Amino acid sequence: MKIKKSSVFGVFGALYLCFFLIFTFLAFQPQTVEANTNLILEIPKISLTSPIRSLEISDENTLTSPERIAGVYHANQNHDFIIGHSTTIFQNLNKLSIGDTFRFGDQTYQIKTRKIQQKSDINMSKLLAKKSTPTITLMTCHGEKISGHDYTERLILTAELI
């Protein structure tokens, strides 16, 4: 049986193209990151809806933000502290202003304070302090990039339950 050279290249070329397209499609799919809570953070003003990962403070008394979603540390009964990277999940957090609202789980919060603070001046004990009313603090990097995901400042938004 004699096979034409052009048909062999056509079959292999078509197979190659199929494999290339399948690989390309699979390789560039958005990655799913599992949250370990059922809580969802919704900030309509910046079109953000995201699951939240529960965080624990390390032995060095630090919190590490997850890569693609926000993380929450339950500081105490009335205070949740949510952090996220400014290059991913919180890329538009700087567009929020005092008075804007967001939902965390089934509760709505209103932003009461907005400040930018030097990273070197951050006092985590003060940021995580007990609050008299249900409060959420949102924090992300801000300012000049130092290295990797690290910046010179932090954007800190404090919101109270309404």
Quick: pLDDT tens for 82-115. 998 888 889 999 999 999 999 999 999 999 999 9
Quick: pLDDT tens for 144-154. 888 776 789 99
Sign of CA dihedral 84, 45, 81, 107: negative
For residue 155, count CB atoms less than 10 angstroms from its CB and return exposed for 0-12, middle for 13-18, buried for 19 or more. buried
How far apart CA 108 and CA 136 sit, in angstroms, is 10
How far apart CA 73 and CA 80 sit, in angstroms, is 6
Strands 150-161 and 101-104: unpaired
CB 79 within 8 A of CB 59: no
pTM for the whole structure: 0.73
Tokens of 31: 């990655």
Q: Per the CATH hierarchy, to which homologous superfamily does domain 40-161 belong? A: Sortase (2.40.260.10)
